[in-house]
Structure formats: structure tokens, C-alpha cells
């Protein structure tokens, strides 16, 4: 191979070593053997399937490290390593002057590390002599793909580490840097694969139905490979494995086409086997809500049967974005029916609810009792069908699939089906028009009283600004019942806020609402029961805090970050929480965090613009300066609250109540001083001893301080915060935080506890929040 001129000199991939002994035809890199950038120096997997070395893509003269199929005449790079400077790690990339230009990191170290190229194409870092099971690996290239998914790779989420593995297109043929397109296994709602351009969805696979994705145009099994979506408490991923000796690779091209290629021995070239998107109907929500796309029709967009265009004039001009509406409006209280539609690519599931244990009949029963449920279907079509998925919003991105798809049952007015349809009757007691307005089941008061043993004192598990909280049992399920107190600092507006917002949000890190009761003066909310209760009872309790080892704390930080990212970016309603704090984080039995209490939440029309108010509400110690002083709130107000939470989780101390004895600073100020002096780890809760990852702790503190910066424009988005917590790039330097002044010293921008009531809701006129 002719090596083009190298811009950055000669590079070597090594393990902490300055001994340069060239080697060839081996599958490992050790502390004394290294990979040198010349035409004869590669490492080769043991079975001779893959090769690793330096290359220049296209006509570029920039050098990259890559992995490719060895015995194929057309060199096809399947993994690349970009050259960048990060903190020293296990693998180090050196230039010809022996300076490190790139390295990896690890949360644990071993005495004799090696990197081994496996026959799967996976480059793994491990202790020499140990096997290649996941528990032995310090790092693997399969966790850091670029544009290629190989058999055996996992595309998805590890819920323990918070790491997402997804594909990124190259910028162009000569630059492997991340391009415009990404491909994800999406965990929100019911799992499906989504291609995005930037943050916008451009293609969706449809949910996994046990055999294929519901958007698959061909239900026949492929003779070369099997695909699947796998889910558990710890991970969710999409992957595929070979069922023959054919060589296969899946790549995301720079123009946003997912391409499955097989190697043709006869042609000695790659042969396209599958291209996605396949046609215009694969364009995300091309036909709008309740519009159906059929590539065999002209025009391709039409309305589902018994639906009509929302805007007939726009529809005639082939502007289908407005979608369709029912020709007869629903009337849930008088009874609706569900009509069966077949050969359908199921709608977008990001705002859906699912339960894989229910039958289709039970699924229909659940949907019929919830007036906001627009449709239902099976999650699994095997063996006659099983499982339940409910759509709680308008149906988007529907396709007709003559040779595939599946059945879906859509809510319609009773008059559309005559006497043969479902009568829509419900066992639940709906009051007035509230069922349609709230979009969640309404229960009668007697049912709630029975579930809580008449609000027995021994069932009481807490008290908040809203009122008392009771544990109850409803139909064999443990529930939490929150009863609005007549003396509550929260009123009907906050009650409705809680119901409307939380009912429309579905995410594993948000508290799930199960129903409500409005009867006379009684206003009651029912939630999933979380046995570990409020997070503040752990983190700020000297005994309980010992339960929170570092992995649990890091997991909780990530969980809160994911939940907040969903509120700000991924949900259809862009929500600002406005009261994010430790006691509004609840923990389930597995210590997974769930954000709760949406009584103060607001919809944000644009990403960061926010709004102004003369009613400043929230909790002292978590408010952003611009909100507390001027009434201006945005998603960046939540980001600051998250940053404070991160520092509290790391230190085990409350920002509201702590005052460092030496500096008289609050928690944020103390963390800032330690950060400036390079002593960040001293912030760590002493009860953790030495059992923690220094890298994760320092990185978490850095992200926390970036989130609490004085100027909202300097704070990262939650999407960036999630990324920074879980990758290895260099963090930006944090700037001065807001409200970090000495705890007892009056100063411009300071506020004292006398200005705020320490309840969840604090209604304070903006005029008294001026700096002293």
C-alpha cells in the first residue's frame, strides 16, 4: 500500500511505553509491542477476518486508525479512531516526537494491559491472559462505533452506565468526523429505531413486534442474518447476528441512508442488500397525524378510512403536513368504538404506554377506560399476539404495508361502527368533561378510600406542600395517593398542572401517574408506588447516605439528567420543571430516580428563550439568579437546579443548609473554590472512603459547575450535560457560578432564608426580590 503524505507525522498506538519494537501479524498490542504507521504494520485478528492499522480516507492526507475486513480486495473501514487530545488513559496515540495526541481512560487499572483485535472486529482492552467476557473488559471499540454496525454490536442503551451506543454518519468520504445523521435505538415509549438529522427524526423503523419492525415491508425471514431488539432492567439494544458465512455490514451513509451490504465473492465487490429509507413513505410523518402513506398510490398520502383531510385546500396542493381528522368527533362519555386497521406500520411510539403481560382484550379494556387513549395493538405478533401498547396522543407516521405491518385498533365515534362496534362503556366513574380534559382515568372517592383504608394514619407515608401522601392497594397494585389538603400551599392550578403535564409524559425517569379523583372538594392524585421514597431522605441522612455508594450516585445523576433531557427536548411538550430538587426526586426499589411534582411546570415554546413572570415560585437554594431576581425562567433555570443537585449528590450536603466552616461559603461556593485550586475530589462525601472512580467524580463535579454558571447562555443544554457525563472528551472550563456568596454575608445578588418560605411553592412578588 502506498502511504500518502502524513500531515501529523508518524503515529503509534501503544500502552504506556516508550519501547518501540515493531511487530506484524499479531492480534494484540502490549506494553512493549506497538502499532506503527507504515505500510507493512498492522494487527490481524486471530482468524484473519479483520485488520487494524493506519489509513487515509478518500483523497485526504490526514491519518486515522481504523479496522477493516482483511481478506476483501476493496478496503472497507468499519471502525475509526479520531485523533484528539484527552486526558491520558490506557491506550495512547503518540506522534513522531513521542508526544501523546490521543488516549483513552478507564475507571480501573490492571498491571499488564493488552489490546486485542477479535474476529468479530471488536478491539478490546483487558488484562493479559484474561478472557474477553464483558466483566473483564476495560474498553471495547464496539461501544464506540462510527458509521458501521457489525454483527454482534449492540445499538442502544446501557441503563447502568448511562452509555448510549449509536451510529453517526461521516461528514464526507474524506472525513470520518460525525456528520449530520445519527441512528438510534430509542428507549422512550415502546422501543423502535430512529434516524435523526441533527435533533429531528427523519426516519422511524416502527416498534419491534417479536419478528421484525412493524415498518418492515417484507415479513419473510432473511436467509443471511437474524435481527432483534433485546431489553432488560440493565440494557436495551438492537443488533443482528449472521446465520450463514456471508459477510455483512450495516452502514449509515453521509446522506442519511442506512445501507446493508453483503460481500459478493463473484463480483469481488460489496452488493447492496437493503437501503433505508426505501421510498418517500419512509419520510417521517410525511402525511401528518392520521394520514397514511402508501408508496403504490398516487399521490402517496391519503387519510385512513373514516378520516378526512384537516385542511382540504392544503391537501390538494400536496401539503399533507396538517394530516387528517375523524369525520365524526369522538364523544368518550357517550361511548366510542375501536375499529381494526390491518397491514399498518404502527405509529410513532415515543408517546405510548406498554405492558407485555396483557392480552389484547385486556389492552382494549385499558384503552377504553382512558379517553386520551387513541389506539391500541399487540406488542408481539407471535403465537396469535400478546402484550399491549396504547397510544396516548394523535397517531403519527402511519404507513400501509401490503406485505407486512400489523393490526391496530383506533378509537372512533360510536356512530362509525353502528351496533356491531365496541360500546365503549367503562367501569370507571368519569365526572363531567374532565375525562377528556385530563386524559387519565378518574376514580370515584369510595374506591380511593377503600384502597387507603379510609386514609388511615398507618397508611400515611409522607407530607408535602400539596398535602398528605398515603400508601394504597388498588386491584392488587401498590399505589401512592396524594390528597390535596384544604390548608395546602398548592391550589387547584397546581393540581391541574400536575395532572395535565405528568399524564402526557412517559419516561422511565419521570414519576408515572395512574389516575385521579375529583369529587366535591376532594382532589386526589394516584401514582406508582416507589418503596424507597424521596431521595433527600437518603442523601442528607447521615445513616442512610451510606447506602449510596458511588456507582448508585452516578447512576442517579445520570437518571435525573435523562429525565430532564426528555422534558426539555424529547417530549412533545417542551417542559420547564421549575422546582427540581432532592425531595422531588423519588427512588424505586432498584434505586432508579424519577422526577416528580410538576405542579409548577410550564410549557416552553422555544428551546432556550423561556418567559417572564412576576410570580417567582420554587425552593430556596435551587433557584437560578435570573429567575429569583428578575422572574426570567427557561430550560437553563432547570439546568442550574440540576447542577446543584449533582453537587449535593457528590458531597452528601444540602446547598440550602450547608455553610463551609473555613470559608463561610455555601456548597456551590465551596465546590467552586476547590475546582479553581485543582482539589475537586475533596468535595466528595467522606462516607465513600476510597471506593469511587476518580475520573467519574471529577467529571461529574465539572459538569455540575458548568450547569451552575452565572450566565444562562454559558450553561449547557441537558442534552450536552448527558453527553459530557458519559463520554471522554475534554470538558470546557467552568465560569463563575451564580449565588455562591458567603452564607451569612449580605451581598449584591445574595438572598437570605427570610425572603423565602422553604415550602415547595413560594409565591413571592418580584418587587421584594431586589438585591440588598
Positions marked catalytic = 579
**What cell numbers appear for 66 in the block?**
481504523
Do residues 177 and 82 touch, judged by C-beta distance below 8 A?
A: yes
Using N-to-C axis directions, what is the helix angle for 635-651 and 667-676, rounded to 10°?
80
Residue 492 burial (10 A CB sphere; 0-12, 13-18, 19+) = exposed
Q: Record the cell numbers describing residue 347, joined without a space.
A: 405509529
688 backbone dihedrals φ, ψ, rounded to 5°? -80, -15
Q: Do residues 392 and 353 lie in contact, with contact meaning Cβ atoms separated by under 8 Å?
A: yes
Q: CA-to-CA distance for 379 and 496, rounded, in angstroms?
A: 32
764 pairs with which residues across the strands? Answer: 616
Q: Where are the alpha helices (DSSP H) in 440-522?
A: 445-451, 492-503
Classify residue 159 as exposed, middle or buried by CB count within 10 Å of its CB (0-12, 13-18, 19+).
buried
Those residues with Cβ within 8 angstroms of residue 496's Cβ, 6 or more apart along the chain or in another chain: none
Instruction: Decide if 506 contacts 519 (C-beta within 8 A).
Output: no
- The answer to whether the CB of 664 falls within 8 A of the CB of 745 is yes
CB 586 within 8 A of CB 477: no
Contact 507, 571 (CB under 8 A): yes
Give 682's strand partners.
none
Each as own residue / partner, the long-range contacts of residues 36-39 (CB below 8 Å, 24 or more positions apart, any chain) are: 36/10, 36/12, 37/3, 37/6, 37/10, 37/11, 37/12, 37/63, 38/3, 38/10, 39/1, 39/2, 39/3
Q: Which residues of 336-369 are buried (b: 16+ CB within 10 A; e: fewer)?
A: bbbbebeebbbbbbbbbbbeeebebeebbebbbb
Q: At what angle do helices 550-565 and 694-707 cross, to 10 degrees?
A: 30
Distance separating alpha carbons of residues 147 and 590, to the nearest angstrom: 34
| HSE (side-chain half, CA atoms, 13 Å) at 154 | 13
Q: Rounded to whole angstroms, how far apart are CA atoms 614 and 734?
A: 30
Rounded to 5°, angle at Cα 355 from 413 and 282: 70
Q: Do 89 and 728 form a contact (C-beta atoms < 8 A)?
A: yes
User: What would the grid cell of residue 122 be?
Assistant: 471488536
57 close to 174: Cβ distance less than 8 angstroms: yes
235 in Cβ contact with 246 (< 8 Å): no
- Is 724 buried (19+), middle (13-18) or exposed (0-12) by CB count in 10 A? buried
Q: Maximum CA pair distance of the chain?
A: 85
CA nearest to 660, candidates 649, 671, 652, 650: 671
> Could you tell me if 722 and 714 are in contact, meaning their C-beta atoms sit under 8 angstroms apart?
no
The Cα–Cα gap between 79 and 198 comes to 22
DSSP conformation letters of 253-302? -TTS-EEEEEEETTTTEEEEEEEES-SGGGSTTTT-TTEEE-TTSSSSEE
Q: Which helix (H) or strand (E) holds 398?
A: strand 398-400
The cell for 41 is 504494520
Amino acid at each position: 500500500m502506498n502511504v500518502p503524505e502524513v500531515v501529523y507525522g508518524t503515529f503509534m498506538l501503544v500502552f504506556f511505553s516508550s519501547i518501540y519494537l515493531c511487530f506484524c501479524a499479531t492480534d494484540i498490542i502490549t506494553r512493549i509491542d506497538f502499532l506503527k504507521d507504515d505500510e507493512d504494520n498492522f494487527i490481524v485478528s486471530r482468524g484473519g477476518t479483520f485488520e487494524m492499522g493506519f489509513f487515509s480516507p478518500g483523497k485526504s492526507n490526514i491519518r486515522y486508525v481504523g479496522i477493516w475486513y482483511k481478506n476483501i480486495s476493496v478496503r472497507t473501514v468499519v471502525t475509526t479512531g479520531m485523533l484528539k487530545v484527552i486526558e491520558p488513559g490506557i491506550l495512547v496515540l503518540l506522534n513522531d516526537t513521542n508526544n501523546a495526541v490521543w488516549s483513552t481512560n478507564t475507571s480501573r487499572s490492571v498491571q499488564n494491559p493488552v489490546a486485542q483485535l477479535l474476529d468479530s472486529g471488536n478491539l478490546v482492552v483487558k488484562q493479559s491472559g484474561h478472557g474477553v467476557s464483558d466483566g473483564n473488559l476495560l474498553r471495547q471499540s464496539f461501544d464506540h462505533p462510527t458509521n458501521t454496525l457489525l454483527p454482534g454490536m449492540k445499538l442502544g442503551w446501557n441503563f447502568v452506565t448511562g452509555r448510549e451506543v449509536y451510529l453517526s454518519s461521516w461528514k464526507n468520504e474524506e472525513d470520518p468526523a460525525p456528520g449530520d445523521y445519527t441512528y438510534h435505538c430509542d428507549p422512550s415509549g415502546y422501543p423502535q429505531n430512529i434516524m435523526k438529522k441533527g435533533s429531528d427524526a427523519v426516519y422511524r423503523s416502527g416498534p419491534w413486534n417479536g419478528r421484525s419492525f412493524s415498518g418492515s415491508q417484507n415479513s419473510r425471514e432473511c436467509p443471511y442474518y437474524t435481527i432483534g431488539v433485546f431489553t432488560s432492567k440493565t440494557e436495551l439494544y438492537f443488533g443482528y447476528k449472521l446465520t450463514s458465512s456471508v459477510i455483512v455490514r450495516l452502514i449509515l451513509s453521509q446522506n442519511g441512508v442506512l445501507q446493508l451490504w453483503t460481500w459478493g465473492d463473484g463480483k469481488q465487490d460489496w452488493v447492496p442488500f437493503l437501503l433505508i429509507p426505501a421510498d418517500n413513505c419512509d419520510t417521517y410523518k410525511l402525511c401528518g397525524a392520521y394520514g397514511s402513506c402508501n408508496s403504490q398510490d398516487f399521490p402517496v398520502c391519503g387519510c385512513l378510512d373514516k378520516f378526512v383531510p384537516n385542511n382540504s385546500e392544503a391537501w390538494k396542493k400536496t401539503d399533507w403536513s396538517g394530516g387528517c381528522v375523524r369525520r365524526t368527533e369522538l364523544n368518550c362519555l357517550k361511548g366510542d368504538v375501536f375499529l381494526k386497521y390491518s397491514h399498518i406500520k404502527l405509529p410513532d411510539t415515543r408517546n405510548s404506554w406498554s405492558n407485555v403481560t396483557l392480552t389484547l382484550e385486556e389492552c382494549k379494556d385499558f384503552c377504553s377506560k382512558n379517553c386520551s387513549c387513541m389506539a391500541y395493538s399487540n406488542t408481539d405478533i407471535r403465537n396469535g399476539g400478546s402484550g399491549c401498547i396504547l397510544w396516548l396522543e394523535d397517531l403519527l407516521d402511519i404507513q400501509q404495508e401490503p406485505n407486512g405491518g400489523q393490526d391496530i385498533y383506533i378509537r372512533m365515534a360510536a356512530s362509525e361502527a353502528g351496533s356491531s362496534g365496541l360500546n365503549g362503556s367503562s367501569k370507571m366513574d368519569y365526572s363531567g368533561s374532565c375525562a377528556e380534559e385530563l386524559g387519565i382515568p378518574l376514580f370515584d372517592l369510595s374506591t380511593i378510600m377503600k384502597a387507603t383504608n379510609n386514609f388511615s394514619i398507618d397508611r400515611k407515608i409522607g407530607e408535602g406542600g400539596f398535602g398528605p401522601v398515603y400508601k394504597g392497594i388498588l386491584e392488587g397494585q401498590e399505589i401512592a395517593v396524594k390528597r390535596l389538603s384544604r390548608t395546602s400551599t398548592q391550589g387547584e392550578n397546581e393540581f391541574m398542572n400536575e395532572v395535565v403535564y405528568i399524564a402526557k409524559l412517559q419516561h422511565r425517569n419521570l414519576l408515572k401517574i395512574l389516575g385521579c379523583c375529583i369529587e366535591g372538594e376532594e382532589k386526589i392524585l394516584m401514582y406508582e408506588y416507589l418503596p424507597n421514597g424521596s431521595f433527600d431522605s437518603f442523601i442528607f441522612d447521615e445513616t442512610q447516605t451510606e447506602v449510596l455508594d458511588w456507582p448508585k450516585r452516578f447512576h442517579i445523576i445520570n437518571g435525573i439528567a435523562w429525565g430532564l433531557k426528555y422534558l426539555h427536548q424529547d417530549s412533545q411538550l417542551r417542559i420547564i420543571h421549575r422546582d427540581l430538587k432532592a425531595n422531588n426526586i423519588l427512588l424505586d426499589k432498584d434505586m432508579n430516580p424519577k422526577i416528580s411534582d410538576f405542579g409548577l411546570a410550564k410549557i416552553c415554546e422555544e428551546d432556550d428563550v423561556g418567559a417572564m413572570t412576576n410570580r417567582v415560585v420554587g425552593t430556596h437554594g435551587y433557584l437560578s439568579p435570573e429567575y429569583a431576581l428578575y422572574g426570567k425562567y427557561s430550560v437553563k433555570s432547570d439546568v442550574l437546579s440540576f447542577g446543584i443537585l449533582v453537587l449535593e449528590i457528590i458531597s452528601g450536603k444540602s446547598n440550602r443548609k450547608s455553610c463551609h466552616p473555613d470559608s463561610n461559603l455555601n456548597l456551590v461556593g465551596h465546590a467552586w473554590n476547590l475546582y479553581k485550586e485543582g482539589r475537586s475530589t475533596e468535595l466528595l462525601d467522606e462516607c465513600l472512603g476510597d471506593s469511587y472512580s476518580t475520573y467519574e467524580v471529577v467529571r461529574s463535579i465539572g459538569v455540575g459547575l458548568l450547569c451552575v454558571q452565572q450566565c444562562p447562555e454559558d450553561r449547557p443544554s441537558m442534552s450536552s450535560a448527558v453527553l459530557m457525563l458519559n463520554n471522554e472528551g475534554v470538558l470546557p472550563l467552568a465560569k463563575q457560578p451564580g449565588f455562591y456568596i458567603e452564607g451569612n454575608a449580605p451581598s449584591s445578588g445574595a438572598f437570605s432564608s427570610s425572603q423565602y418560605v422553604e415550602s415547595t411553592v413560594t409565591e413571592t412578588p418580584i418587587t421584594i426580590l431586589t438585591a440588598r
